Amino acid sequence: MATFVLVPGGWKGAWAFESVVPLLEHAGHTVHALTLTGLSPDDDATVATANLDTHADDVLRHLEERHITDATLVGHSYGGMVITAVADRAGDRVSRLVHLDAFVPRHGESCWSASNGHFRKLFAAGAAATGFSVSPPDGGDPRRRPHPLGAFLQAIRLTGAFAEVPRREFVYCSGWEDRTPFAELRLRLQADPGWQVHDLPTGHDAMHEDPGAVAALLLDDVARAPVDPEPCGRVVGRMNRVPEVDSSVSTRP
């Protein structure tokens, strides 16, 4: 059985995977959906000081405290920055990386530098109120929280060790091609034999638009049995406990 560690994108917490977690658990796997430092409702104090290193340390500490040694790290959007940094520092604790419509940074890149004009405008506008956190864009899930500005701006430092992870995958969501910052990244990774590239015909929030398809991609070569959609009816009740477990990640930086 696999151990999945799910890292959300900007402004989001463990709840971002609430429709996917029960599908993976129903297939018999262990799932840890994380909320990073500064993104919990009771975590206003740390949003000013958190950055990409803080978030990588959150995940590394989670792996160590729970003695996870064969992790499948899944990062959505900004979470791709985090899982890349983690894999570069985690030694052999990580066996698979899945960048779910997510950044795959090279050494020295940041979320800001690897993004496009659309998102740079969102980051700048969102940071205008405080100068240290980025308010969520208008619309969307009301649970979203201000995101640490430093996490979007800090350049990643890589040794290249992340390239030793045996299995590396990128999922391209094609349903928002007017705004996606990942079109060129998709082409780059398609030309790299070290990466497997998948396409999903959803918008960026694939976990909510088509959780069954996301779970099926994650379960490929892990569990060949079809994904049973029935657990989706139990999402709310089961996810009530996930943020409680993972709130320790964001409240003990």
Q: Which residues are part of the catalytic machinery?
A: 77
Displacement of CA 117 from its chain's centroid (Å): 21
Please, which residues have CB within 8 angstroms of residue 96's CB and are 6 or more apart in sequence?
Answer: 2, 71, 72, 73, 165, 166, 167, 168, 169
DSSP string covering 33-78:
E---TT-STT-GGGTTT--HHHHHHHHHHHHHHTT--SEEEEEETT
Please, which residues have CB within 8 angstroms of residue 35's CB and are 6 or more apart in sequence?
Answer: 8, 13, 14, 243, 246, 247, 249, 250
- Closest among 46, 75, 39 to 88, alpha carbons compared: 75
- Closest among 158, 196, 200, 195 to 180, alpha carbons compared: 200
Tell me the two tokens of residue 98: 């899945």
